[in-house]
Structure 1
């Protein structure tokens, strides 16, 4: 029986500021952040990050960091001469801004070997990807990716997708709309964020987002920052209040960690409403630490509280 969890996308080098010119180098990216939380909360499930790596020292450090934390890389290709993308976080209070260097990142070639990609998705209980995964690929590579995901789903994998719309990564709004709608059509669980959906599709309310997505995907959880999440399933919807944090430190990775908490709870057999409550607790813990990746013990304590 399939037991693993796989997440597909780009893990970047993360520079997070401490004070002055003192920067900390880490590894993060939306789909990796989600897998990090999922792995912390489902330690009995083999975790695989599906991407592509360069042959440079930073890529080797990434792979070693994954291994040190119990995360494999499946059959992810190593691309000669390529290297990871890089981003820097700057903070105003707890709110963050990002500066990116990623145009030639190795992860853009994660679908360059369709056989290896399909192999990485074999025997997975859950396959997760995002709109950023789609955005870094060209049209042909997106089709290769979706073909592999459809095959995994037919073999029994649960597929979860976060549209995670980032306008600067797409050539046009229309291209993003088309690609994201194709992805939603092959997903079992959608985990959108309302402001993204409002920007991309013009939704007036989270309820409008849920109603639109329920026509494509059976289970929808609309995140909305500090506002309540909205769950829509089988024609019914339910509001789940967020956990208020009086003095957040850094909101980086909060939504990704919510996704990880929600999916871990669903894999453990919890109902959607209970899963969303656990997910809110996980997100609340993450905004109280710096950087996108909270320690495993912090995530577990929040999830079990």
Structure 2
């Protein structure tokens, strides 16, 4: 069977985003799901799978239904009796966001609890995507199970993409992240780091330093840097690709995740890395002009083709 699917591994949470006054809007989001959302919108011909673990509560059922309504499956992800999804709330100061989380007992922490099911879900995938947040929510043995499954999928022909996405509060220690992330890079084909994260974790002085460090393990590296240019490094040769300036952003939630989705969709479609980064910037610029992490599919497609 020809590998054609796209799979993303991680935690999708309930998202509360503030509206006018005391009212809140509930949706579903999380870094790896946000990326898959954009990737699926821009690669609709490819079967999309979100690999995680889910509870059996009404919110989990609604989440799975939401995925299905938008053409996204869950593979053989475990459904765990008594478990429930994590929750976060977004508060905004202008367009800049802050997050409050309730996720310590989230079902997604058990996404590697059935190694055979995890491996089965990763079969016949053209692309497998995961992040440092995926790793951070797992304990040590589960991380090993996940990385072994990703390595097996890669050996079978899947392209593997990884965003280190360092979030200090999720890790037991800075040293644990410094040890684990290089292990993930060892099974990665495309790395999509964010410079401020890498500066915080590894004390990189410049995006070029990040690209050079990761380039020792990964052939294709794209260093995101907010409103500044992304640095695309391919086998040691680096090229800056300017970001798209948005004069009045509404909400920056999910911008980097959507950049990743746009970049990976473009690469799967055969675009060279620099053009893929240009399209990814356009997608990210569209996302910061809507509230919440998920922009409508048509908005993403229009931005991608502009």
The TM-score, its normalising length taken from structure 2, stands at 0.99
Aligned to 2:117: 116
Aligned to 1:41: 42
Corresponding position: 1:85 with 2:91? no
2:131 aligned residue:
130
Counterpart-to-counterpart distance in 2, 1:41 and 1:4: 13
Pairwise CA distance, 1:235: 1.4
SS at match of 2:193: coil
Q: Within the alignment, does 1:56 sit opposite 2:57 as a pair?
A: yes
Indicate the SS of the match to 1:38: helix
Alignment of 1:170-189 (within 5 A): 170-189=171-190
After TM superposition, the structure 1 = structure 2 runs for residues 132-147 of structure 1, keeping only pairs within 5 Å, are: 132-147=133-148
CA distance in 2, matches of 1:8, 1:235: 28
Unaligned runs of 5+ in 1: none
RMSD: 0.3
Alpha-carbon distance between aligned partners in 2 of 1:94 and 1:235, rounded to the nearest angstrom: 36
Q: Unpaired segments of 5 or more residues in structure 2?
A: none
Give the drift of 1:234: 1.4
Write out aligned runs for 1:10-29 (5 A): 10-29=11-30
Q: Which residue of 2 aligns with 1:296?
A: 297
Partner deviation per Cα, 1:81-106 (whole Å, 9 max, x = no partner): 10000000000000000000000000
- Count of residues paired in the alignment: 305
CA apart distance, 1:290: 0.2
1:251 pairs with 2:252: yes
Hey, what's the Cα distance between the residues in 2 that align with 1:287 and 1:219? 26
Deviation digits for residues 212-238 of structure 1, max 9, x if unmatched?
000011100000000000011111100
Partner of 2:157: 156
- 1:222 aligns to what? 223
Q: How big is the shift at 1:19?
A: 1.4
CA distance in 1: counterparts of 2:235 and 2:164, whole angstroms: 21
The structure 1 segments of at least 4 consecutive aligned residues displaced by more than 3 Å after TM superposition are none
Correspondence for 1:263: 264
The 3-state SS of whatever aligns with 1:19 is coil
Cα distance in 2, alignment partners of residues 28 and 139 from structure 1: 25
Residue aligned with 1:66, SS: helix
**Aligned partner of residue 16 in structure 2, secondary structure:** strand
Cα distance, 1:21 vs structure 2: 1.2
2:235 and 2:110 mapped to 1: Cα distance?
37
In structure 2, the partner of 1:198 is 199
Report the counterpart of residue 241 of structure 1 in structure 2.
242
Inter-partner Cα distance in structure 1 for 2:53 and 2:212: 35
Query: What whole-Å deviation, never above 9, does each CA across 1:155-184 have from its counterpart, x for those lacking one?
Result: 000000000000000010000111111001
Tell me the alpha carbon deviations over residues 199-222 of structure 1, each in whole angstroms, 9 at most, x when there is no partner.
000000000000000001110000
Distance in 2, matches of 1:108 and 1:300, equals: 32
- Other structure's SS at 2:19 match: strand
Which segment drifts farther, 229-238 or 25-34? Answer: 229-238
Distance 1:57 1:115 in 2: 27
Could you tell me how far apart the structure 1 residues matched to 2:274 and 2:176 are?
Answer: 33
